[in-house]
Amino acid sequence: MVARHDLVTDEKVRGDLLTARRGTAFFARKLGELSYADMDAPSLLPGWTRRQLIAHVGYNARAISRLVEWAATGVETPMYPDMEYRNREIELGATLQPIALLNLFDHSAVHLSVEWRDLPDAKWTAEVRTAQGRMVPVSETVWMRSREVWLHAIDLDNGARFTDVPTDVLRRLLPEIARTWETRGDAYVLTVTGGEHDGQRFGAAEDAAEGSVTEVRGSLPDLVRWASGRVPDGQDSGVTVADGSAAGAAPRWL
């Protein structure tokens, strides 16, 4: 018999599930505001139309569902056979009729939510492999999906803003981005100004060599907008370097 509620009992995972599902609902609302013709317009992701973005979000849910199935059955089920397959899937999906694209998003999101719901409590620590080759507990798939839906709702470019994204998502994104930079040799300290998190710092280690770290300041939503590379050319990023001048473009994240 299938469950009618989430079987997981870990309170952190349950909270993360709620955030991911809220993000899915937010993406669905912004998607629902688009006309069929609007889907042909560019997204905020360079080189991608909204069609490609919608296809990606739908197929991403299917890919993550495969990881949850892996955890449930113990049978290795990768997200994709390879990255070329992933890219071809998105390009093909972008050619679907608009109603089919909407159905892809809806059905894949429901499928993933059910896979999470029915995963037995003891299985949530089972390890699965991400598309980047990392072995992670299947509970990490909730964050993987949450990040996708909240950021890509903004990428639809029809009114969603980083101020719409929950603070806990922003506070998890910022150090994740900074750690990625640091592994590539780009050391930044990102300092929050204003609000309840005023003065919090994310990024490079405190013991980094003097002069080797660039400090960037701004509100939490503006810092994540800038750091994630979602400031269109010619727009004010809202963030500054330590001397008060405007920050240049952020290093590549993904």
Question: What are the pLDDT digits (tens) for 55-71?
Answer: 999 999 999 999 999 99
Segment (H or E) for 101: helix 98-118
| pLDDT, tens digit, 9 for 90 and up, residues 4-27 | 899 999 999 999 999 999 999 999
Predicted confidence (pLDDT) at residue 1 exceeds the cutoff of 50: no
Predicted confidence (pLDDT) at residue 183 exceeds the cutoff of 90: no
Shared domain check, 113 and 69: yes
Rounded alpha-carbon distances, angstroms, from residue 66 to 74, 81, 116, 130: 11, 11, 11, 11
Residue 124 covered by a domain: yes
Shared domain check, 212 and 142: no
| pLDDT, tens digit, 9 for 90 and up, residues 142-171 | 999 999 999 999 999 999 999 999 999 999
Shared domain check, 235 and 179: yes
First to last CA, the chain: 41
Question: Which among 160, 195, 228 is the end of a domain?
Answer: 160
Shared domain check, 132 and 207: no
Shared domain check, 203 and 81: no
Q: What is the pTM of this model?
A: 0.92
**pLDDT, mean of residues 44-53:** 96
Shared domain check, 121 and 137: yes
pLDDT attached to residue 88: 96
Residue 254 covered by a domain: no
Shared domain check, 212 and 137: no
Question: Which among 131, 160, 189 is the end of a domain?
Answer: 160
Q: Which domain holds residue 207?
A: 167-241
Shared domain check, 176 and 139: no
| pLDDT, tens digit, 9 for 90 and up, residues 226-253 | 999 999 888 889 999 988 899 988 999 8
Shared domain check, 172 and 50: no
Backbone phi and psi for residue 216, each to the nearest 5 degrees, phi listed first: -125, 135
Closest residue by Cα to residue 148 from 130, 133, 135: 130
Shared domain check, 195 and 71: no
Residue 224 covered by a domain: yes
pLDDT attached to residue 107: 98
Residue 3 covered by a domain: no
pLDDT attached to residue 204: 64
Shared domain check, 68 and 154: yes
| pLDDT, tens digit, 9 for 90 and up, residues 93-122 | 999 999 999 999 999 999 999 999 999 999
pLDDT attached to residue 218: 95
